[in-house]
Structure 1
């Protein structure tokens, strides 16, 4: 495991000169006040490299989901700054932030979050409809074909398997050509075989379409698909693993228990 110390500045722990799709500077997030206050993130500075697959791992309550939510603009920090590309999220109004998320961010969740009354095609196009943007028929066709959904577009979520529903969710995330896809435990509700297929599709989106992917996971085998694993403990970046495999990820997680 490569232990890292976050640098002062938005490069975080990334390679010098790399373009950043998302980043954070001295992010702190505290819930509650006084003696009941809980610090979920404690001065985190980190950069997410564009066109690469980053996994975030740590014990339950370590702050990994909080970090992802702040990077995605789903939550606001107590202090510090977060960026999507060159846009400082912490300086935007709610309306500006909503427009930026619709244009630049794709989401994949453990629970799929599909609308049950809409067909697969309608669910895929939902972010475009909300943003008032027309579908790019060529790109939509490429995504649908790559995810093997061509024969399922007129089916509603209740008529699809869990793996098919997650493919629809991934297609929905990709159809806007976002700057970043944020995936929160995307394989958590799937069996191991179907989960591996979804991870392969996320990997493919990085390799073939140069998509930036940020994934929170508790599964070392899932994290091993990434280019880089960020390790979080007690609300702080505790290290990183480059070019991971399941064994190095497991070792990194074990070492977190020895920090401090």
Structure 2
């Protein structure tokens, strides 16, 4: 997954690995749950970089560690060994308050559940993180996002007045508003039908090409993963391969080879 070149003279490098060079980087990351014979090794010595302005999908069989990896990369879960960076900021061992600020300012999230506040309008849901942080909304950027996502005529509507696809578009807009270093998607189309899911995935794809966004998505769906530039494959907590510019058929073949 990473170059074999060693660059221990660079900031952040560790012996045997190149320095971090992505929107998100991991070096020799391991994570276990439990102890002794009952321990579950969720991540085993994982090292990789997620390039800026690219859409990456993480896939693998159930229990492969893909969700654990995403949670650790996003600073939502701790690791037992290794180092992690978001951009040029190392998050390994970062104090809770600093980690919370970093996630608020530099990370966006899109989940399977839309996680919208039912009493707020679409616009209020989009701007909620900025409001909670006491910041000022960039109205020009909000307008661009809303127009790009086709939400201009839905901003005054509350969630129950929106379709599932529109609600997920609001969630995507909320994630984009702060211009984060990276957006993490956890099965973002899992609650959508295939047509609506395709529309949301196309919007995520466009956010990379048109807005310079970096996206890391965990999914079990080969069709969803085919929208990504790159598919990272995992099994038993380890990285076992990757695909570039793949199709649902090539992804299915790769997963079948893993026993998924």
- Secondary structure (helix, strand or coil) at the match of 2:24 reads strand
- SS across alignment from 1:231: strand
Q: How does 1:69-80 map to 2 (within 5 A)?
A: 69-80=71-82
Counterpart residue number, 1:255 = 257
Name the residue aligned to 2:67: 65
Aligned to 1:109: 111
Matches within 5 A, 1:1-260: 4=1, 7=4, 19-257=21-259
Contact 2:122 2:156 in 1 (8 A): yes
1:4-42 superposed Cα distances (whole Å, 9 cap, x missing partner): 57757789xxxx999410011111111112222111111
The worse-fitting range, judged by mean Cα deviation, of 140-149 and 128-137 is 128-137
Deviation at 1:119? 1.4
The number of aligned residues is 251
Structure 2: unaligned runs, 5 residues or longer: none
Deviation readout 1:193-230 (Å, 9 max, x if unpaired): 00000000000000111110101111111111111000
What is the CA-CA distance between 1:81 and the residue it aligns to? 1.1
- In structure 2, C-alpha distance between the alignment counterparts of 1:149 and 1:69, rounded to whole Å: 29
| TM-score normalised by L of structure 2 | 0.92
SS in 2 for 1:145: helix
Alpha-carbon contact 1:18-1:49 (below 8 Å) kept = no
> In the aligned structure 1, how far is the partner of 2:184 from the partner of 2:26?
15
CA distance in 2, matches of 1:128, 1:223: 30
Structure 2 CA distance for aligned equivalents of residues 17 and 99 of structure 1: 24
> Secondary structure of the equivalent of 2:58?
strand
Cα displacement (A) at 1:155: 1.6
TM-score of the pair, normalised by structure 1 = 0.92
C-alpha spacing 1:50/1:101, structure 2 compared with 1 (3 Å): same
**Per-residue deviation, 1:132:** 2.0
Aligned with 2:92: secondary structure? helix
Q: Which moved more, 1:16-25 or 1:48-57?
A: 16-25
**d(CA) in 2 for partners of 1:117, 1:217:** 30
Cα deviation digits, residues 34-75 of structure 1 (max 9, x gap):
222111111111110011110000011110011111111111
Q: Which runs of 4+ in 1 moved over 2 A?
A: 4-11, 16-19
